[in-house]
């Protein structure tokens, strides 16, 4: 007797059942441990990725599927560009005109000493699926590798805790990933207990509002975006000035 082919809906359910990038549960205890370590040492970026893996269940799938619904998402997914490789190419980063997003990103790398490759290496800690040949994993890498581009676009500094906390709140608004929410809330609570805490909390809340008001950045073609004047890109994407954040920086001296 011939075996009947499995209906498409059952096939999709079966694939989900064995796919570790889809069939996962949130690890709240693991996230809490990592969050405590991160709050104790803001430079321990490894903990950020542990929190993301523990709580951002389903966000890569949802983000990838949303990307495919955008006008250029199908092309971006088909081209499957690994942004870390592109952003670590000095010839590529150095090819953009002064005042452009690409030039600002190059200046960011020179000023901070950061690199997309360095962030990629940290993200691979205890994560066997980070480099998987899977569309959801590729989307996750794309989000990881564009993090510092978002620093450039939003104006939040990457070498200070408040700048990172504000971008984390912005990222939560863009992605709805609970890992980002956990870090943002914990950062705000920690800031509240410090001198001048209220303005810092206001800046973090502003980061969330800016993320909600902005266009959906994961859908951007970053290679094309790099050639765009920075001010023009911010205006097109609806990214206004971080007023509360800049006021806090000025007050802090």
Could you tell me if residue 22 is inside a domain?
no
Give me the pLDDT at residue 131, please.
79
Could you tell me if residue 7 is inside a domain?
no
- Give the whole-angstrom CA distance, residue 185 versus residue 178: 10
Could you tell me if residue 91 is inside a domain?
yes
Could you tell me if residue 221 is inside a domain?
yes
- Give the whole-angstrom CA distance, residue 103 versus residue 146: 15
Query: How long a stretch of residues is the chain?
Result: 253
SS3 100: strand
Domain count of the chain? Answer: 1
Could you tell me if residue 38 is inside a domain?
yes
Could you tell me if residue 9 is inside a domain?
no
pLDDT tens series, the chain, 253 aa: 443 443 444 434 434 444 555 657 899 999 999 999 999 998 899 999 999 999 999 999 999 999 999 999 999 999 999 999 999 999 999 999 999 999 999 999 999 999 998 888 888 877 766 778 899 999 999 999 999 999 999 999 999 999 999 999 999 999 999 999 999 999 999 999 887 789 999 999 999 999 999 999 999 999 999 999 999 999 999 999 999 999 998 887 6
Could you tell me if residue 203 is inside a domain?
yes
DSSP string, 110-164: HHH---HHHHHHHHTTT-TTTT-SSHHHHHHHHHHHTHHHHHHHHT--SSSHHHH
- Give the whole-angstrom CA distance, residue 7 versus residue 239: 45
- Give the whole-angstrom CA distance, residue 47 versus residue 116: 17
Which range marks the domain in which residue 88 is found? 28-252
Could you tell me if residue 243 is inside a domain?
yes
């Amino acid at each position: 007797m011939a075996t009947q082919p499995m209906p498409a809906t059952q096939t999709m359910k079966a694939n989900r059942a064995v796919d570790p990038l889809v069939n996962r549960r949130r690890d709240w205890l693991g996230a809490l441990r990592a969050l405590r370590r991160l709050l104790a040492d803001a430079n321990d970026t490894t903990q950020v990725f542990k929190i993301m893996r523990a709580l951002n269940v389903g966000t890569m799938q949802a983000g990838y599927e949303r990307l495919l619904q955008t006008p250029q998402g199908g092309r971006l997914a088909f081209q499957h560009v690994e942004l870390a490789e592109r952003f670590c190419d000095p010839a590529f980063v150095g090819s953009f005109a002064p005042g452009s997003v690409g030039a600002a990103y190059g200046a960011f790398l020179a000023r901070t000493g950061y690199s997309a490759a360095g962030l990629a290496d940290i993200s691979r800690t205890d994560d066997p699926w980070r480099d998987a040949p899977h569309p959801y994993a590729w989307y996750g890498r794309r989000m990881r590798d564009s993090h510092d581009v978002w620093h450039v676009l939003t104006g939040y500094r990457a070498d200070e805790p408040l700048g990172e906390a504000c971008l984390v709140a912005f990222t939560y608004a863009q992605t709805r990933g609970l890992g980002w929410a956990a870090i943002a809330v914990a950062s705000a609570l920690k800031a509240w207990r410090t001198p001048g805490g209220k303005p810092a909390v206001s800046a973090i809340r502003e980061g969330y509002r800016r993320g909600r008001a902005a266009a959906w950045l994961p859908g951007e073609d970053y290679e094309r975006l790099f050639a765009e004047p920075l001010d023009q890109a911010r205006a097109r994407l609806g990214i206004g000035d971080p007023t509360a954040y800049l006021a806090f920086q000025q007050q802090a001296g």
